[in-house]
Amino acid sequence: MKALHIDNTILQSRLFLGTAGYPSPEVLGWAIEAAKPGLLTVSLRRESAAGKGQDFWSIIKGFNIPVLPNTAGCYGVEEAITTAEMAREVFKTNWIKLEVLGDDYTLQPDPFRLLEATEQLISKGFTVFPYMTDDLVLGERLAALGCDILMPWGAPIGSGRGLNNPYALKLLRERMPGETLVVDAGIGAPSHAAAAMEMGYDAVLLNTAIAKATDPVAMAGAFAQTIEAGRAGYLAGIIEPQQSASASTPAIDKPFWHQEN
């Protein structure tokens, strides 16, 4: 299966793994080992607020997996830009997953501030991975600003609802064939991730579905397998649903067990 490239980096997996909310650093480490993710995402604001600090960064860096810092918890443009600049200093990377939230209840991205922050960060040399809704026009505007990667939500962050709007997600994939598209947020079960990959999405970003599972390590392994299976199914060519039945075995005259006397 062809590897995923971002900039000049080859990612070894199409599973992107968040690092927040695990029962302990040990469980996080075991989950990373089971998932074998292509990327690890880290929230500078939330992890620092939890008191993990430099020890946490050292653990993450020890896995030698590309790190994608994010601006989780930011609601304003300047706040997001400042967080991104701090993350660049800590992780020595121009990659940033840009979150600019607009609603406390759904944690839905603010499309207007997202566009403004994206434009400014790109001018500062960042490779922006924008966390967005599944809106096609927003995706096209972000691509026009210079985003080669888009991260539409499947459902609100941490909700576990899966793919709330398959039509919109399929439309994004069909209309933006040249973009790297990653379903981010709302995934709750391995089947949700498989469905996204079967649509032709390039990767899936997970956090809560693994971190809050009864057995995070086993769940990490399950997601790793199902993302590979979903991608393989997409590449193999999934049949179109039909309105009527179609016999898989052709009927030619008489059953093979019927013998003439």
Active site residues: 97
In the chain, helix, strand, coil percent, each to 5?
A: 40, 15, 40
Provide the H-helix boundaries in the chain.
25-35, 44-49, 53-61, 77-91, 111-123, 136-145, 166-175, 190-198, 208-211, 216-236
| Residue of 6, 2, 86, 80 lying closest to 39 (CA atoms) | 6
Asked if 51 and 75 count as a contact pair (C-beta separation under 8 A), the reply is no
| CB contact set of 180 (below 8 Å; sequence gap of 6+) | 4, 6, 148, 149, 150, 202, 203
State phi, psi for 257 to the nearest 5 degrees.
Answer: -85, -10
Q: Which residues are 40's β-sheet partners?
A: 17, 67
Structure tokens at 170: 């399929």
Largest Cα–Cα distance of the chain, in whole Å?
Answer: 88
Give CA–CA dist 168/245, Å, rounded. Answer: 28
